[in-house]
């Protein structure tokens, strides 16, 4: 070992920004290796996975459609993560948001009007927050660990959605398939660009990211959340109300995920199905970390993560690559990020003394 | 005639990224010699000792043990050579028993039962009785140190390293420990005694190595030196003294504590029992006591980090505040410097400027829920210049500051908010002498401006230097107050073991109290 | 209620509880060293599919077990490198491990979704297994259930009677002190994490090879998370881990039998049962924070490195 690892006297600012890039590059390199292991031509597979999905306008639209829920949820989760409040329940909060929003789409099926979409979005937000308020309540009153509670509630929420589309919310004329009616036009987000499926929801997501930026970077409450995350004792010392921060941390994730759930059913899906999310709630956790819990970073990392989803689909269609590869890429990306973060606090140097000895 | 030295160090060097902790240190200690390593906080004493004990690997230099060069790989190796160490911050395991703790440092013992027997034997032999079955968290700090000492003695050490051992003892217990150490030395054991307390070193040690800034600045026979000459070697100049004029008398009662009971949040902690005292504007009240006697709990209750059940127990300027959270108490002009700097008094991972906001936000740094970074930056600049905080800039991470500078910065942040009541815990713990002096003087200046100051400290010298009145805390009880001019370190030392009017050990002899501990007030 | 049905339910509960026993005892050892690995779910999944593939290819239970344990340990190794060597946050790393494990197991299992395995036969012990009631309850299980009991005995002895166990507990309690006494904190934590991974892998193998026995994507279905909750529920004590594991085994089994009694409840509601039970259990135990703090390893979840002092 001629390389010496030593702590930096202070954390490197440059590495803070570089390490997500390093992680992304390492993930792409691993991609090439995985593709060749699967017996594919790496260059061809790389093209199919990472380039083809976005080389036309339609593809860009798809990228933004997928990135929207990711950046929205990622920002909402980052609010909690900053305070070390680990909401792992976005997947469930998204499902409940979809249920609430979908309910109004179904009961106003015969109506049309501009009120329906805002109502659905508000209902989704309420649903997501309600679901998130369970762990918040249990944590503030009983000290129950929010990681385990939010996780358990994911399973419960997904089962609840399945239960409803198998029962009360099932399309009576749907030949018994577990799905709701197709929503009316007033319950579908309008498409923005001709020739794509890009819908209004992208602005909502961007608005959420900007609101998150103001809250996290500029507001006193955002500062308090960060203090609580870095040193809880310091937050108590300063007299910040930790329980309030827990509620904000969990509800912001629920709010974002609930709205994201509505964006999905009122966007590309157009109805309630037993499954309304390809794991956005979990992927958003990675988005938040890779984005350094900063809304600007989250915006960029949501695009990368959306590309992974598209690449998975495209690879499956064009190259017969299993779509599960996407999950592997997501996990690898986070691994590499966590590993690269080491370089924020440590640096590697050639060990001169050892060289001299030799 | 010269014997082979027990231990010799040649050119010991250890470099950390930001500092040279040890710079080519030479030293020698003979069998049976008590040798002082003298230097102020941050001089590099602890690093040097850890290198001898195998905890830290030196970058270069030689350790010669009984005439032979050795490379000490790890503490187990050091123990096999016959080196024992009593750490300043104990290396004990709270939820394990005394025997289990000692077993973890032993390489050869037959069974837990036989080990427990040996512990009792050795502890009796040296007059340091210890119950092997007790869990560490139930022991006082003094007894914990005893566990560390017995742990070393069980291995019949040829060299015993004691790192700042007296900071946890009363003056009386210090005397008793000196007896034990002299006896060990008579038996041929060498002792390396690390301290920054000049009087102790002059009393106990045969010889001394003085270290400043990682370098040896002199060797001395302490008995031939004066405190002034030793100090000059230690800090390169005369010991600075604070200027303390007469107190402003008859100030308003600023803090009043009445009949405060509080059970500890920590199951290893001390419950507070019927505590009453008050601090007036224009005076400094000191709280003396051995750590772990309820200081933490008292400070948590006073700061509001833990609320008390009776809101009338604590009053600031006549208003009951027992039910108020820390920020609400700060709004009533309370300032507080906690003993834990990083992680409580300051937020790691944030800049100096952002750390100002933590408690000073109420001074115009928040408008409409948004932060005014400009204001925070100005306040940080003022902290840095008024207290000569050594740092690159206000935007540097707080973690880049040394212990002394961080403490100056936190104290500055609290004092520059002009509190009417300032509470400070361990103001100069681990702080270099220059910074300590600035901090002490700033508290005196605040008191001269009519504010009330409460100082909790384990350093008796410090309390006697800056305080107007003293109270002592022992086992969660508080003594009556005395004027500093009307008492002595001896008396306060006795009180620290609970022997004060109405105290937990009133009427018992000192010998008895040092070995027992469960009393009620 | 018919006595036979009761015995059946009890026997089935023990089987259903066994994956929890393996995973939770493994995690218990990891946590005793002061490391919180939230990746149990991922390690179980990868262990499950690795064991399943090995079983399908070799037909040997031993090979399946070894493969599953190795796979779980390798997953744990990733976590150990991240958190112990590179000092990454343990919560984030554990989550990453689970996300990665979900993806990796789905990927590895693509070609195995429609294969059924023969399962693991009950171990017939002459005479003992034929005793009425007791024989069925105690002596009619497969070898993996018996070995889980051996594991329990071993861990109880190891933690509280052996010097190595004392060292492990010491490291979880105060890594700085352990380091000062010369123990290799990082090295020992590596071993504890790898052991936890191997046991999670074995729990996964039990699911896919003996309990179900087939491979379904995501078949661990939250059991890894329940195992994590069990360790807290058990206040880090092996005997209570066993009790909790069989309790949850019972709840898992109950959902099948409630329908058997002719009660009309949608299956989704019944499937929610174990998850809701976990939340309730968490709430009940979390109320007593003092006891949790007294029993939990003091350094749990905190990053430690000797260079950082």
Global ipTM: 0.90
Mean pLDDT, residues C90-107 taken together: 93
Other Cβ atoms within 10 Å of A68 Cβ, number: 29
The answer to whether the CB atoms of C182 and B95 lie below 8 A apart is no
Number of domains in chain C: 1
- The fold for domain A64-318 equals ABC transporter involved in vitamin B12 uptake, BtuC (1.10.3470)
CA distance B350 to B395: 9
* Domain termination residue (choose one: B235, B268, B287): B235
Mean pLDDT, residues B461-468 taken together: 93
The answer to whether the CB atoms of C287 and A143 lie below 8 A apart is yes
Residue C124: DSSP 8-state: -
Least confident piece of the model among A104-108, B54-58, B325-329, B343-347 = B54-58
* Domain termination residue (choose one: B204, B235, B266): B235
The answer on pLDDT for C131 being more than 80 is no
For residues B231 and B317, membership in a common domain is answered with: no
Residue C142: DSSP 8-state: B
**Per CB distance under 8 Å, which residues of A are interface residues toward B?**
6-11, 214, 218-221, 223, 226-227, 230-231, 233-234, 236-241, 353
Number of domains in chain B: 2
Q: What is the pLDDT of residue B510?
A: 52
For residues B316 and B266, membership in a common domain is answered with: yes
Least confident piece of the model among C148-157, C205-214, C259-268 = C259-268
> How many residues appear in chain C?
309
The answer on pLDDT for B515 being more than 70 is no
Reported as a single tens digit per residue, the pLDDT across C238-256 is: 999 999 999 999 998 888 7
Give the domain extent around C100: 3-308
Nearest to A234 among B329, B344, B361 (CB): B344
Give the domain extent around B132: 7-235
CA distance B50 to B194: 12
Mean pLDDT, residues B97-112 taken together: 89
- CATH number of residue C181's parent domain: 1.10.3470
Q: What is the pLDDT of residue B247?
A: 64
- What is the percentage of chain C residues whose pLDDT exceeds 70? 97
Residues of chain B contacting residue A223, judged by C-beta atoms under 8 Å apart: 354, 357, 371
Tell me which residue of C76, C78, C50, C77 sits closest to C64, measured CA to CA: C50
Q: What is the pLDDT of residue A172?
A: 87
For residues B367 and B266, membership in a common domain is answered with: yes
Each domain of chain A, given as residue ranges in start order, spans 1-40+321-358, 64-318
Is the CB of B74 inside 8 Å of chain C's CB atoms?
yes
- At what angle are helices A242-264 and A220-230 packed, to 10 degrees? 110
Nearest to B370 among A219, A231, A241 (CB): A219
Other Cβ atoms within 10 Å of C187 Cβ, number: 11
For residues B82 and B110, membership in a common domain is answered with: yes
Q: What is the mean pLDDT of chain B?
A: 89
The answer to whether the CB atoms of C269 and A86 lie below 8 A apart is no
Q: How far is A8 from chain B (nearest CA, A)?
A: 6
Q: What is the pLDDT of residue C172?
A: 95
Looking at per-residue pLDDT, the higher value among B518 and B116 belongs to B116
For residues B34 and B87, membership in a common domain is answered with: yes
Q: What is the mean pLDDT of chain A?
A: 91
Q: What is the pLDDT of residue C123?
A: 75
Q: What is the pLDDT of residue A1?
A: 47
Is the CB of B391 inside 8 Å of chain A's CB atoms?
no
Give all chains having 3 or more CB-to-CB distances under 8 Å with chain A. Answer: B, C
- Report in angstroms the alpha-carbon separations of C88 from A33, A341, A346, B32, B350: 25, 7, 12, 47, 19
Q: What is the pLDDT of residue B303?
A: 96
Looking at per-residue pLDDT, the higher value among C263 and B106 belongs to B106
Q: Which DSSP helix (H) or strand (E) runs through B29?
A: strand B19-29
Nearest to B54 among C177, C182, C290 (CB): C182
The answer to whether the CB atoms of A324 and C110 lie below 8 A apart is yes
Is the CB of B51 inside 8 Å of chain A's CB atoms?
no
C78 → chain A, closest CA residue:
A335
**Beta strands B207-212; B34-38: pairing state:** parallel
Mean pLDDT, residues C202-212 taken together: 94
Q: What's this model's pTM, rounded to 2 decimal places?
A: 0.91
Residue C173 CB contacts under 8 Å (≥ 6 apart), including other chains: B93, B94, B95, B96, C34, C297, C298, C299
CA distance B495 to B470: 11
A353 → chain B, closest CA residue:
B59
| Confidence at B2, pLDDT banded by 50, 70, 90 | low
- Report in angstroms the alpha-carbon separations of B46 from B40, B194, C146, C184: 11, 8, 53, 21
Within a domain: residue B2? no
Q: What is the pLDDT of residue B249?
A: 64
* Domain termination residue (choose one: B235, B264, B288): B235
Q: Buried b / exposed e across C245-278, counting CB within 10 Å, b at 16+?
A: bbbbbbbbbbbebeeeeeeeeeebebbbbbbebb
- Report in angstroms the alpha-carbon separations of B57 from A159, B15, B90, C91, C307: 57, 10, 20, 32, 11
**Per CB distance under 8 Å, which residues of C are interface residues toward B?**
163, 166-167, 169-170, 173-174, 176-183, 290, 293-294, 298
Residue B258: DSSP 8-state: E
Q: What is the pLDDT of residue B230?
A: 87
For residues B161 and B291, membership in a common domain is answered with: no
Tell me which residue of A336, A233, A27, A302 sits closest to C88, measured CA to CA: A336
Within a domain: residue B248? no
Residue A112: DSSP 8-state: -
A339 φ/ψ angles, rounded to the nearest 5 degrees: -70, -45
Mean pLDDT, residues B402-409 taken together: 91
Reported as a single tens digit per residue, the pLDDT across A273-320 is: 999 999 999 999 999 999 999 999 999 999 999 999 999 888 888 888
What is the DSSP track for B52-82? HTTSS--SEEEEEETTEEE---SHHHHHHHT
CA distance C46 to A276: 26
What is the DSSP track for B456-474? E-S-HHHHHHH-SEEEEEE
Tell me which residue of A91, A41, A51, A39 sits closest to A286, measured CA to CA: A91
Q: What is the pLDDT of residue C113?
A: 84
Strands (E), B136-268: 159-163, 190-195, 207-212, 215-220, 253-262
- CATH number of residue B65's parent domain: 3.40.50.300
The answer to whether the CB atoms of C103 and A148 lie below 8 A apart is no
CA distance A328 to B86: 50
Instruction: Give the per-residue SS3 of B303-364.
Output: HCCCCCCCHHHEEECCEECCCCCHHHHHCCCEEEECCCCECCCECCCCEHHHHHHHHHCCCC
Within a domain: residue B242? no
Looking at per-residue pLDDT, the higher value among B42 and B446 belongs to B446
The answer to whether the CB atoms of B346 and A241 lie below 8 A apart is no
Reported as a single tens digit per residue, the pLDDT across B224-261 is: 988 888 888 888 877 777 777 766 667 788 999 999 98
For residues B39 and B113, membership in a common domain is answered with: yes
Helices vs strands, H then E, count in chain A = 15, 2
The low-confidence residues of chain A, meaning pLDDT below 50, are: 1, 354-358
Within a domain: residue B404? yes
- Region of residue B316 (left: phi > 0; alpha: psi -120 to 50; beta: else): beta
């Amino acid at each position: 070992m001629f390389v010496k690892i030593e702590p930096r006297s202070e954390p490197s600012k440059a590495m803070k920004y570089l390490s997500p890039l390093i992680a992304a590059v390492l993930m792409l390199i691993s991609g090439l290796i995985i593709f060749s292991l699967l017996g594919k031509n790496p260059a061809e597979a790389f093209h199919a996975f990472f380039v083809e999905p976005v080389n036309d306008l339609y593809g860009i639209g798809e990228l933004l459609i997928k990135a929207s829920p990711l950046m929205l949820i990622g920002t909402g989760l980052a609010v909690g993560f900053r305070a070390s409040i680990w909401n792992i329940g976005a997947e469930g909060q998204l499902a409940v948001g979809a249920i609430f929003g979908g309910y109004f789409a179904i009961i106003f099926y015969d109506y049309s009007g501009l009120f329906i979409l805002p109502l659905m979005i508000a209902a989704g937000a309420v649903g997501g927050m309600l679901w998130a308020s369970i762990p918040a309540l249990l944590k503030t009153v009983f000290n129950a660990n929010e990681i385990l509670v939010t996780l358990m509630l994911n399973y419960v929420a997904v089962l609840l959605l399945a239960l409803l589309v198998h029962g009360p919310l099932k399309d009576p004329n749907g030949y018994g398939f577990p799905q709701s009616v197709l929503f009316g036009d007033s319950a579908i987000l309008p498409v923005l660009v001709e020739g794509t499926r890009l819908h209004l929801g992208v602005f909502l997501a961007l608005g959420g990211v900007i609101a998150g930026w103001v809250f996290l970077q500029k507001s006193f409450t955002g500062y308090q959340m960060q203090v609580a995350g870095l040193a809880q004792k310091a937050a108590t010392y300063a007299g910040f109300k930790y329980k309030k921060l827990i509620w904000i941390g969990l509800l912001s994730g629920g709010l974002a995920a609930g709205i994201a759930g509505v964006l999905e059913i009122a966007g590309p899906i157009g109805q309630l199905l037993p499954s309304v999310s390809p794991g956005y709630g979990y992927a958003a956790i990675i988005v938040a970390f890779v984005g350094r819990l900063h809304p600007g970073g989250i915006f960029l990392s949501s695009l990368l993560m959306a590309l992974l989803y598209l690449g998975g689909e495209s690879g499956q269609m064009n190259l017969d690559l299993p779509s599960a590869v996407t999950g592997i890429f997501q996990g690898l990306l986070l691994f590499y990020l966590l590993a690269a973060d080491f370089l924020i606090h440590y640096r590697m140097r050639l060990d001169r003394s050892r060289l001299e000895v030799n | 005639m010269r014997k082979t030295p027990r231990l010799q160090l040649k050119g010991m060097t250890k470099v950390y990224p930001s500092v040279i902790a040890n710079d080519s240190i030479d030293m020698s200690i003979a069998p049976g010699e008590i040798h002082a390593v003298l230097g102020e906080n941050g001089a590099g004493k602890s690093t040097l000792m850890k290198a001898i004990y195998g905890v830290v690997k030196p970058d270069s230099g030689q350790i010669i043990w009984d005439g032979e060069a050795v490379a000490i790989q790890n503490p187990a190796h050091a123990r096999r050579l016959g080196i024992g160490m009593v750490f300043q911050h104990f290396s004990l395991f709270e939820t394990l028993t005394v025997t289990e703790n000692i077993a973890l440092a032993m390489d050869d013992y037959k069974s837990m039962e036989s080990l427990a027997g040996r512990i009792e034997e050795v502890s009796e032999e040296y007059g340091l009785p210890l119950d092997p079955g007790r869990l560490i968290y139930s022991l006082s700090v003094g007894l914990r140190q005893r566990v560390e000492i017995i742990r070393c003695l069980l291995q019949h050490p040829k060299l015993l390293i004691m790192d700042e051992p007296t900071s946890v003892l009363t003056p009386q217990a210090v005397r008793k420990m000196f007896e034990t150490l002299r006896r060990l030395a008579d038996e041929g054991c060498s002792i390396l005694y690390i301290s920054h307390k000049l009087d102790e070193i002059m009393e106990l040690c045969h010889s001394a190595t003085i270290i400043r800034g990682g370098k040896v600045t002199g060797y001395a026979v302490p008995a031939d030196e004066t405190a002034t000459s030793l100090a000059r070697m230690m800090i390169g100049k005369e010991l600075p003294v604070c200027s303390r004029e007469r107190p402003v008398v008859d100030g308003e009662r600023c803090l009043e504590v009445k009949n405060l009971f509080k059970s500890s949040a920590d199951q290893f902690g001390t419950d507070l029992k019927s505590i009453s005292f008050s601090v007036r504007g224009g005076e400094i009240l000191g709280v003396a006591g051995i750590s772990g006697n309820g200081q933490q709990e008292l400070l948590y209750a006073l700061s509001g980090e833990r609320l008390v059940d009776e809101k009338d127990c604590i009053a600031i300027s006549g208003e009951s505040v027992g039910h108020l959270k820390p920020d609400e108490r700060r709004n009533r002009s309370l300032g507080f410097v906690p003993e834990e700097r990083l992680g409580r008094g300051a937020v790691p991972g944030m800049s100096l400027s952002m750390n100002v906001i933590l408690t000073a936000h109420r001074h115009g740094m928040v408008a409409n829920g948004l932060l005014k970074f400009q204001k925070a930056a100005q306040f940080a600049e003022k902290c840095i210049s008024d207290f000569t905080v050594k740092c690159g800039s206000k935007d540097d991470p707080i973690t880049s500051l040394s212990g002394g500078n961080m403490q100056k910065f936190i104290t500055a942040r609290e004092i520059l908010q002009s509190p009417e009541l300032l509470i400070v815990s361990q103001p100069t713990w681990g702080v270099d002498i220059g910074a300590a002096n600035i901090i002490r003087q700033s508290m005196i200046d605040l008191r001269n401006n009519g504010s009330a100051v409460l100082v909790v400290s384990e350093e008796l010298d410090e309390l006697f230097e800056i305080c107007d009145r003293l109270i002592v805390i022992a086992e969660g009880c508080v003594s009556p107050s005395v004027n500093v001019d009307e008492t002595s370190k001896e008396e306060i030392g006795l009180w620290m073991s609970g022997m004060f009017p109405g105290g937990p050990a009133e009427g018992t002899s000192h010998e008895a109290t040092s070995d027992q501990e469960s009393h009620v007030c | 209620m018919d006595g036979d049905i009761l015995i059946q339910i009890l026997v089935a509960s023990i089987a259903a509880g066994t994956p929890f026993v393996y995973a939770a005892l493994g995690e218990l050892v990891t946590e005793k060293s002061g490391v919180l690995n939230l990746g149990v779910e991922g390690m179980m999944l990868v262990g499950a599919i690795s064991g399943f593939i090995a079983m399908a290819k070799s037909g040997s239970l031993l090979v399946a077990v070894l493969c599953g344990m190795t796979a779980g340990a390798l997953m744990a190794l990733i976590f150990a490198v991240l958190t112990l060597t590179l000092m990454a946050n343990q919560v984030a790393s554990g989550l990453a491990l689970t996300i990665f494990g979900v993806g990796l197991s789905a990927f590895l299992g693509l070609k195995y979704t429609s294969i059924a395995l023969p399962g693991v036969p009950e171990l017939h012990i002459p005479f003992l297994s034929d005793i009425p009631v007791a024989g069925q309850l105690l002596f009619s299980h497969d070898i993996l259930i018996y070995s889980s009991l051996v594991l329990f005995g071993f861990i109880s002895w190891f933690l509280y009677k052996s010097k190595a166990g004392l060292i492990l507990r010491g490291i979880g309690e105060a890594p700085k002190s352990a380091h000062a006494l010369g123990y290799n904190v990082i090295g020992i934590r590596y071993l504890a994490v790898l052991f936890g991974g191997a046991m999670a892998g074995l729990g996964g193998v039990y699911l896919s090879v003996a309990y179900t026995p087939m491979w379904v994507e995501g078949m661990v279905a939250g059991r890894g998370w329940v195992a994590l909750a069990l360790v807290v529920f058990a206040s880090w004590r092996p005997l209570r881990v066993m009790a909790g594991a069989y309790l949850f085994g019972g709840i898992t089994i109950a959902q099948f039998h409630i329908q058997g009694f002719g009660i009309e409840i949608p299956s989704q509601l019944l499937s929610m049962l174990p998850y809701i039970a976990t939340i309730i259990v968490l709430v009940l135990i979390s109320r007593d924070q003092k006891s949790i703090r007294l029993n939990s390893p003091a350094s749990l979840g905190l990053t430690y490195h000797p260079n950082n002092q």
